[in-house]
Structure 1
């Protein structure tokens, strides 16, 4: 009973926080939609920006990992931790030194991901078609769409590297922004 009460209290507090700050969520949503439109309008630039951002993330996390590894060098797994941190530094430096080639590599990885995700989703749909009755077909369609996206990305290489990452990031930003706008407006209406 305590867990149920705690969950109800948490939901109530979260709803109150969203209602109280609905304008901030609305602003963030609008900003994400604008950034999404910009990324879809300039997908090459957005792809480079994502690659450079990931390069910095790898570099900073790798340097942090090296510092922590040397600080705790008496811990088990020192060499594995050192190798992992060094790989992150190298990956970051490569992405920052050659961002155009990094976009191509990320595009290949994204294409492979969509292909694997599509196959896994189709297998999941087929395995659960009895339990999910009519809803399993939605999973099947989602899996097929993932494979279609993978086909366009992989078959279009290297040209698809110019648009794939930027377009996908733009779509993600637009949907995330639209979700926040909808949540903000619903919270505003519930507080009126």
Structure 2
């Protein structure tokens, strides 16, 4: 009983916050939509930008990891923490210094990820088709689509590095922006 009341109060608070700040969600959605279409139209630039951003994230997290490792050098796992931080720093430096080669490598990793995700999704759909009723077909289709995307990326690699990361991130941004815009407009209409 208490859990249900708490959940309902939390949902009401979230809905109230979204209604109060629907303009912020709308602006964020529009920004994501614009960035998404930009990434789709200029996938190479987006791929290189994302690779450099990822490089900076690795570098910053690696430097923070080094600082923490030395700060807690008496703690358990010091050497593993230190090695992990050094690898992150090296990966960051490589991605920042050589973004084209980094994008090529990341594209291959994404292709392999889509392949593994597709196989896992198909296996899950087939294993649970009796329990998922008609939805298992959608899962099966999603797995097949993942494998198709993986085949396109891997079979054209390294040439696909010029567009794969930027295009995939752009599509994700367009869908995310569209959903935020829809949510904001629905909240505005409710208010």
Alpha-carbon offset, residue 133 of structure 1 = 1.8
> Counterparts of 2:163 and 2:175 in 1: how far apart (Å)?
18
Alpha-carbon offset, residue 180 of structure 1 = 0.1
> Counterparts of 1:90 and 1:38 in 2: how far apart (Å)?
30
Aligned position for 2:14: 14
Matched, 1:88 2:88: yes
Aligned position for 1:66: 66
> Counterparts of 1:130 and 1:57 in 2: how far apart (Å)?
43
Gaps of 5+ in 2: none
> Counterparts of 1:64 and 1:98 in 2: how far apart (Å)?
22
Cα deviation code 1:55-84 (max 9, x no counterpart): 000000000000011001000110000001
For 1:131, what is the secondary structure of its paired residue? Answer: coil
> Counterparts of 1:6 and 1:71 in 2: how far apart (Å)?
41
Aligned position for 2:110: 110
Matched, 1:2 2:7: no
Matched, 1:162 2:162: yes
| Matched ranges for 1:26-45 at <5 A | 26-45=26-45
Number of residue pairs aligned between Structure 1 and Structure 2 = 191
> Counterparts of 1:51 and 1:108 in 2: how far apart (Å)?
13
For 2:73, what is the secondary structure of its paired residue? Answer: coil
Aligned position for 1:125: 125
Cα deviation code 1:38-60 (max 9, x no counterpart): 00000000000000000000000
Gaps of 5+ in 1: none
TM-score normalised by L of structure 1: 0.98
Alpha-carbon offset, residue 110 of structure 1 = 0.4
TM-score normalised by L of structure 2: 0.99
